[in-house]
Structure 1
Amino acid sequence: MAGNLARGRAAATGRVRVLAGAVIVMLAATLAGCGGDDTAPAAAPNDSNPSKPGPAPDRASGPRVLLVGVDGATYAQVQGAVLRRELPNLAGLNLVPTATGGMPGTITAQPPLDAPSWATVLTGAWANRHGIDDDTGSTALRAPTVFQYLRAAGKPGLQQGASTSSPTLPGLLKTGQETGMLDTLVDCAGVDSCVTQNAVQQVRSGYGVVFAQYSAPARAAQDSGFGNGAYATALGAMDQALGELLAAVAARRQAHPGEDWLVMVTTSHGLDATGATTTVPTVENRTAFLATNKTLNGALARPGAAAPDTAADLSALPTEADIVPTVLAHAGVALDPAAMRLDGSALTTTAAGVRAIGATISQYNDAITLAWQNPSAAFGVTRVLRDGVQIAALGPEVRQFTDKAFDMPTGLYQFNYTLVRNDVPVSYLAQIHYVRPVTLAPSLLNGLATYFSLDSKPFADAKHTATLGPWAAGVDGGTLAADNFSGQSLQLDSRIDSYQLKHNAADIAQSPQFTIGLWFRTDCTQGNSTGEPILSNKNYVSGGNAGIAIALFGSCEIRFNLGSGSGKRDDINGMKVSANQWAYLALSVDAAARRFSAYVIDPVLGLQKTENKAIANTDVTKLAGLGAGWGVNDDATHNYVGNNPGALKGVMGLNDLAMWTRVLTLDELKAITGARQPLSTLNP
């Protein structure tokens, strides 16, 4: 069930210890340690508890993980050094570029800094889940780490250790150690040799998961950039340390053939051209790398690929959020899609799920549209789950889904979507400031005399009282275009020809009361000082001529005009629409009471209105104008531009054109725009 964002955040407090039932459903393969050297890890500076004895070694065969992190080792610099044969140990692994930083401009965006990036490496989630968006250390992780996932999978004998050099890592991992998810945490306080010493001892001691994190390349780049020997020396030292770790792994495998080691090397984030860390989400800063001893799925990652040049290139790459799912897949931990909270997927499995999930919010804040990439063919449907409940099953090649089946009050909400393709689940945490639609008022059927939904051609009046089409057969300026209801609308180009609306009997303007309403969209290019009619039954060379006009003028202004000849007229001017947005226009006339009202309801500018203005000058018996019907994107002469030098022909969008033989209330008009549904849903 959907939960309010504030309640969701409160419920997240205190979940560190209670994780297994909510996140991991089953263990698909054994994840245990095997026998080995009983020697405890070497002591180090600032060990969080140096008097604590080392955990007992695990003695069973099974999968093992060595995760190596390096600050400052950019993909371009590492790839170049590998090609120059300066990093022989990294050269023996499958090296691919990856992305970090989430997606700029979306809810997943996070700055390319150390703490947010390492949080993603360790949790498989972006900052909107893990909560770390700076390097201050003031915020605790909100998402479970890889150590918690593995421990929750039911392997209490599996030893898990971390030795870190960066000052940001101990803060991220402290809670995991305090709650027993991480058995050993060594803060090496910037001494990379300490990291190697302790990580090697953890491998030798039979640990199942070893995280070793280095920072010397970042310090070298920060101090003197990439252009002198200090940075190359730091990369070489890191590679030498990796060689010691790989040698320890090789020794373990030789002594314990049942152990299956996954080795992964990654960096936190990229650096700018000077070697500095900045918060700017450039392609360089958001490019990381991954190197592994395992074969990668070719649909997801291509070893040796060039560094990405554009944001589009970067979006097609694996991400740091894929590291935790890859570790869990290697460990044989099966994730239930209903409980899935990971923003990535495994890179080493045969099957590939979806990639690069993103979300957009509808114009009216009542729907979420998910879009994604399909990197490989699919053998079945793509299932869509919202907060653990399946809401759709899509064809294998579908790449977009709109969710609008909400039933909740207006408010701020988060929803965890999981897409399951090829049996691979990938999640995305979306957020919406939901605005609940109002109900389309049934009273809108009362007095409805003419209604064109404009969903299909030829356009038909649901009440059979009027016709709408080109002035001349064979010259049609009207085409169908997407409307604001996931349907169609009339896109009318008067440069080809305008349209004519004719009533079969008396014109609506001869009724004692009437209302004209329609959805309208324009780029405002026709709106100059001379104007252009949207709907008019008069000779609009003068507003004083007999009849009615609704027209577009300069600066997106809408004008409403009544006239009866001899220069007699009444006007409501000054209301505006937003360019390229669907706005609702309405004109109501009470001829008996000699009052009229005009409304513009714009999605950006809101409600504009003038109500019950006195018809002070116009003879209301002359409102039928020329009696020849209504020009649409023209006046009733079919020659507005010719009669008005300087006027411009062009394109207008119209939808749901309706006429009533009564005055609609403001509440009814608000219901039309608030319901965000066409009048056709009332079956007029």
Structure 2
Amino acid sequence: MRLTVLLTLVLTSSLFAHGPGKENDFAGRRVLFIGIDGCRADALVAAMERGLAPQLKTLSESERGLLTRQFYAGGEKDTPTHQPTISGPGWSSLLTGVWMDKHGVRDNRFIGGRFQSHAHFMRHIKEAKPTAFCASFADWPPIHDFIADGSRVNSQEFLDVKFTCAPDAARHFVDNPEKDIEIRDEALKTLHTQNPDSMFVYFGQVDEFGHGAIDSRASFSPDSTLYLNAISHVDSHVGELLRAMRARPKFAEEDWLVLITTDHGGKGNGHGGDSDNERNIWLIAHGQKLPKDKLMKEPTPQTALVPMIYEHLGIP
């Protein structure tokens, strides 16, 4: 098994000024953003109803939580924002807060990306608070190679932890579930040993099962047991991250905004079009001051997450 891992730790004296509880740049406010690639909305609901996603179900049904299916990908039809429901444009929109007409990404090649002018949200966190601690974990390398690295100014790294775990192309992504475990373990390490202000954790196996890349019998469908099992595997990783967050020494003093979503849905073994199953996605959120009525009742674009993060942290 060939493994490409990039782990960057920027250790400066300012890092050690960070502490648990309210001892951070944002008076205890912190963000955990979890991305589950290619997780179709009705399949997520089916997994929750069948007891296969208990962690996501519990979080969404808690007093401060919600699950909305009013969330959507793909931009606005018949406008310059209209974009394909594929990962390159999707994650670019989720991580920058703008559609394709601004970030410039039309497909998974990232040609024409404009991340200098429409940057990864963590770069703006660092610009607002240079001592903020930002961490990102992904087993789809373009998230770091193009979106994060493309956002750097004068090659200056803004991520304090950047962990990239690349599935072996020779195995046609069959080892993606193993890579998700490595992503989980590195993210857990940061929650246990550091004091992150903002974390992004990406899991890729659900999308690969939908494509049939891991098992040809699977598809993007609530009727695919293999696809639902992949959602269940990621649900267990989410549960471990949430437990680690809650086990922090001064968690009671911390104000965490948890956001969990996907970049697109799918149908059959593909995605990229404008069908409801590809465009209509979901958001699970948990926090003290969520705009619940708006999120539950009004169609909300996936570009809305970055402004929610800035508002939570108090960044203009």
In the alignment, which residue of structure 2 is the partner of 1:188? 165
Alignment map for 1:155-170 (pairs within 5 Å): 155-170=129-144
Does 2:228 correspond to 1:232? yes
SS of the equivalent of 1:240 reads helix
Distance in 2 between residues matched to 1:179 and 1:217, nearest whole Å: 33
Does 2:307 correspond to 1:325? yes
Q: Is the 8 A contact 1:217 1:235 kept in 2?
A: yes
In the alignment, which residue of structure 2 is the partner of 1:175? 150
Counterpart of 1:220 in structure 2: which amino acid? F
Q: Is the 8 A contact 1:203 1:210 kept in 2?
A: no
Counterpart of 1:300 in structure 2: which amino acid? K
Coordinate RMSD, CA, aligned: 2.1
Q: CA 1:48–1:80 in 2, change beyond 3 Å: closer, same or farther?
A: same
In the alignment, which residue of structure 2 is the partner of 1:645? none
Map Cα deviations across residues 259-306 of structure 1 (whole Å, 9 max, x no partner): 21111101011112x1422x222222111211011253244222xx8x
Alignment map for 1:518-529 (pairs within 5 Å): none
In the alignment, which residue of structure 2 is the partner of 1:148? 123
Distance in 2 between residues matched to 1:67 and 1:158, nearest whole Å: 16
Cα offset, 1:123, TM superposition: 0.8
In the alignment, which residue of structure 2 is the partner of 1:76? 42
- Seq. identity, %: 23
Q: Is the 8 A contact 1:46 1:186 kept in 2?
A: no
Cα offset, 1:49, TM superposition: 5.0
Distance in 2 between residues matched to 1:110 and 1:215, nearest whole Å: 21
SS of the equivalent of 2:307 reads helix
In the alignment, which residue of structure 1 is the partner of 2:170? none
1:101 maps to which of 74, 80, 83: 74
SS of the equivalent of 1:129 reads helix
Q: CA 1:246–1:180 in 2, change beyond 3 Å: closer, same or farther?
A: same
2:5 maps to which of 43, 47, 67: 47
Q: Is the 8 A contact 2:259 2:286 kept in 1?
A: yes
Counterpart of 2:306 in structure 1: which amino acid? V
Distance in 2 between residues matched to 1:126 and 1:330, nearest whole Å: 22
Does 2:67 correspond to 1:90? no
Cα offset, 1:45, TM superposition: 4.7
Distance in 2 between residues matched to 1:48 and 1:237, nearest whole Å: 24
Does 2:258 correspond to 1:300? no
Alignment map for 1:282-293 (pairs within 5 Å): 282-293=275-286
Cα offset, 1:239, TM superposition: 0.3
Does 2:188 correspond to 1:200? yes
Q: Is the 8 A contact 2:257 2:286 kept in 1?
A: yes
In the alignment, which residue of structure 2 is the partner of 1:209? 198
Q: Is the 8 A contact 1:119 1:141 kept in 2?
A: no
Cα offset, 1:65, TM superposition: 0.6
SS of the equivalent of 2:247 reads helix
Map Cα deviations across residues 46-99 of structure 1 (whole Å, 9 max, x no partner): 33356x565634221421111000112111111122122321111122111211
Distance in 2 between residues matched to 1:54 and 1:221, nearest whole Å: 39
Distance in 2 between residues matched to 1:108 and 1:322, nearest whole Å: 14
Q: Is the 8 A contact 2:10 2:160 kept in 1?
A: no
SS of the equivalent of 2:136 reads strand
Counterpart of 2:100 in structure 1: which amino acid? A
Cα offset, 1:325, TM superposition: 0.6
Alignment map for 1:599-610 (pairs within 5 Å): none
Counterpart of 2:67 in structure 1: which amino acid? L
Does 2:281 correspond to 1:249? no
Counterpart of 1:198 in structure 2: which amino acid? E
Map Cα deviations across residues 471-520 of structure 1 (whole Å, 9 max, x no partner): xxxxxxxxxxxxxxxxxxxxxxxxxxxxxxxxxxxxxxxxxxxxxxxxxx
Unaligned runs of 5+ in 2: 61-65, 168-178, 213-217
2:110 maps to which of 127, 137, 142: 137
SS of the equivalent of 1:211 reads strand
In the alignment, which residue of structure 1 is the partner of 2:63? none
Alignment map for 1:576-587 (pairs within 5 Å): none
Map Cα deviations across residues 200-224 of structure 1 (whole Å, 9 max, x no partner): 1222211111110011011111102
Distance in 2 between residues matched to 1:202 and 1:84, nearest whole Å: 32
Cα offset, 1:256, TM superposition: 4.4
Q: Is the 8 A contact 2:135 2:160 kept in 1?
A: yes
Alignment map for 1:551-562 (pairs within 5 Å): none
Alignment map for 1:528-539 (pairs within 5 Å): none
The higher-RCO structure (CA 8 Å, 6+ apart) is: 2
Distance in 2 between residues matched to 1:146 and 1:325, nearest whole Å: 9
In the alignment, which residue of structure 2 is the partner of 1:126? 99
Distance in 1 between residues matched to 2:258 and 2:10, nearest whole Å: 27
Q: CA 1:244–1:275 in 2, change beyond 3 Å: closer, same or farther?
A: same
Cα offset, 1:255, TM superposition: 2.8
Map Cα deviations across residues 541-575 of structure 1 (whole Å, 9 max, x no partner): xxxxxxxxxxxxxxxxxxxxxxxxxxxxxxxxxxx
Counterpart of 2:230 in structure 1: which amino acid? A
SS of the equivalent of 1:328 reads helix
Alignment map for 1:397-476 (pairs within 5 Å): none
Cα offset, 1:181, TM superposition: 2.0
In the alignment, which residue of structure 2 is the partner of 1:667? none
SS of the equivalent of 2:48 reads helix
Counterpart of 2:274 in structure 1: which amino acid? P
Counterpart of 1:195 in structure 2: which amino acid? I
Distance in 1 between residues matched to 2:190 and 2:136, nearest whole Å: 9
Map Cα deviations across residues 221-274 of structure 1 (whole Å, 9 max, x no partner): 11021344321221111000000110111012x4343321111101011112x1
Structure showing greater Rg: 1
Q: Is the 8 A contact 2:5 2:166 kept in 1?
A: no
SS of the equivalent of 2:94 reads helix
Counterpart of 1:269 in structure 2: which amino acid? H
What is the count of residue pairs matched by the alignment? Answer: 274
Map Cα deviations across residues 126-170 of structure 1 (whole Å, 9 max, x no partner): 1111111111133334312210221121x2221111110124312
Distance in 1 between residues matched to 2:237 and 2:252, nearest whole Å: 24
In the alignment, which residue of structure 1 is the partner of 2:270? 276
SS of the equivalent of 2:211 reads helix
Q: Is the 8 A contact 2:122 2:134 kept in 1?
A: yes
Counterpart of 2:312 in structure 1: which amino acid? H
Cα offset, 1:185, TM superposition: 1.6
Higher helix share: 2
Distance in 2 between residues matched to 1:83 and 1:54, nearest whole Å: 44
Distance in 2 between residues matched to 1:282 and 1:238, nearest whole Å: 25
Cα offset, 1:175, TM superposition: 3.0
Counterpart of 2:295 in structure 1: which amino acid? A
Distance in 1 between residues matched to 2:292 and 2:188, nearest whole Å: 31
Higher strand share: 1
Distance in 2 between residues matched to 1:234 and 1:299, nearest whole Å: 31
Map Cα deviations across residues 289-347 of structure 1 (whole Å, 9 max, x no partner): 11011253244222xx8xxxxxxxxxx4111111001101110113xxxxxxxxxxxxx
Alignment map for 1:302-317 (pairs within 5 Å): 302=296, 316-317=298-299
